[in-house]
Amino acid sequence: MPKKVVIDCDPGVDDALAILLAIFSKELDVLGITTVNGNVGIDLTTENALKIVEKAGSSIPVYRGMKKPLKKPLYSSGDVHGQNGLGGITVPKSKQNVEPISATDYLIQTGRASEGEITLITLGPLTNIAVAIQKDPEAMSNYKEIISMGGGVGVGNITPVAEFNYWVDPEAAKIVFNFDLPITMLGLNATHQTVLTPNDFHFMRLVDSELGEFLAQIHTTCINAYWEFDQLMGCVPHDSLAVAVAADPSLVETVYCNVEIATDGLTRGQSVADVINAWEEKRKNSHVGITVDSERFRDFIFLTLFSDHKDEYDTYKRFLGN
């Protein structure tokens, strides 16, 4: 039976890929999608989520979430994701409407109805989850787990030590990590172990002219940004790792440890993961991703999105020497 999941996201190019993977995955049953301010503002993240659901040929309900962090000013990353969050390309407005209740109310409502079988996959700042926890901790405790793309062990991408999602709203991240719900944290140290290259997107175009072209186009700005900032020829599909781990936890080796979120000073937004168990007295609150089976993760991406083209993918892998 597929795993029931709710996706909280801020689309965002990598969110778009991750949402498509979740919808197409036979291992997952996406019950709903909640949006939050992050990569771009809440109006755009919500509309983008609707567009991606429509692109997948689905009608999964989308719920509009928090428009700003708990305390920090608004911030977006249009230089990576394009000013509209989808690489700057024009995508027709979705015909599907956003749901009438808020994201936080939906999260609480779904939690109340859950019997410990629903997983929360978080791909953006944790504002919605934190607000829902504050409003109804009993309902939120009914979820099975949180699988969160965010943070990192000894690495940052918005400051030397802080990853974007947790830096945007560290107060929210702190509330979530202090809550008594199992968390798997998939940070930059894990996501950086895989890259999608321009060749990968060209292959997608060849096997699926519609979906492949869409993915190639929205990732162009992202690929250009990675080359400009990191001299990397390609892009890191950060959020897709959270979806992949929800479908197959064996893709990542983790360390069960304490994670603290810094909310002050120079390290604001940092996820401090005690992978060496120096703080023995502190509660272990997170399974922190350390090692990714990168080849199987790439297989998951391609064979989930383009399941009818396994033979072509096998040929492409041989071309790459895999």
126 contact partners, CB below 8 Å, separation of at least 6: 8, 148, 150, 165, 166, 169, 172, 173, 175, 176
- Cross-strand bridge partners of residue 159: none
Spell out the SS3 assignment of 210-236.
Answer: CHHHHHHHHHHHHHHHHHHHHCCCCEC
Give the C-alpha separation, 255 to 98, whole Å: 38
**Helix, strand, coil % in the chain, rounded to nearest 5:** 45, 15, 40
Selecting among 8, 10, 14, 105, the annotated active-site residue is 10
Q: How far apart are CA 179 and CA 141, in angstroms?
A: 8
d(CA 59, CA 46): 14
Active-site residue flag, 10: yes
On the CB side of 163, CA atoms within 13 Å amount to 28
| CB 104 within 8 Å of CB 66 | yes
Task: Give the catalytic positions in this structure.
Answer: 10
